[in-house]
Amino acid sequence: MTSLRMTTPRLLTLRVLLGQPDEERYGLSVAREAGLEPGTIYPILVAFETVGWLTSREDDVDVHLEGRPRRRYYRLTADGIVAAREALAAAEKRRGARAGARKLAW
C-alpha cells in the first residue's frame, strides 16, 4: 500500500471521509466538514485518488437546470478505508506519545 506524508489537513480529510466510508461525498462538502478551504481540499483529494485511496466521478447534471456547477463525488476504496484507519491510528499514537512525554515521572 502506498503511503503518503500525513499532514493535519490530510488527516482531517480522512476523518471526514471515514465518517461515512460507503457514501460518495463531493469535495466542497468534505472541505466544509473538515474545516478546510477548497484550495486545500482538492489537492488532497487528487493525491488520495492518485494512490488509489479514493475513486471519483463527475455528476451528470444540466448546470442550467440545477443552478449549480457540476460536482465531483469521491468515495473511499477498500484500500483507502484501511489506509485511512491506519493513518489516523498512527497519528493518535504519535499524539499520545507526545502527551505522555510531557508528564512528570513521579
Residue 99 lies in a domain: no
Task: For residue 98, name the pLDDT band (cuts at 50, 70, 90).
Answer: low
**6-38 pLDDT per residue, tens:** 999 999 999 999 999 999 999 999 999 999 999
Residue 75 lies in a domain: yes
Tally of domains within the chain: 1
Residue 98 lies in a domain: no
Residue 106 lies in a domain: no
Cα 63 to chain centroid distance, Å, stands at: 26
* Buried residues in 75-93 as b, exposed as e (16+ CB within 10 A): bbbeebbebbeebeeebee
Check the CA dihedral 63-67-69-70 and report its sign: negative
With cell 471521509, the residue in question is: 17
- Which residues, 6 or more positions from 23, have their beta carbon under 8 angstroms from its beta carbon? 75
Residue 2 lies in a domain: no
Residue 104 lies in a domain: no
50: containing domain: 8-93
Q: CATH number of the domain that 35 lies in?
A: 1.10.10.10
Report the C-alpha gap between 66 and 70 in whole angstroms: 9
**78-93 pLDDT per residue, tens:** 999 999 999 999 999 8
Q: Confirm if 74 and 27 have CB atoms less than 8 A apart.
A: yes
Task: For residue 102, name the pLDDT band (cuts at 50, 70, 90).
Answer: low
Residue 12 lies in a domain: yes
Burial class (CB in 10 A: 0-12, 13-18, 19+), 30: buried
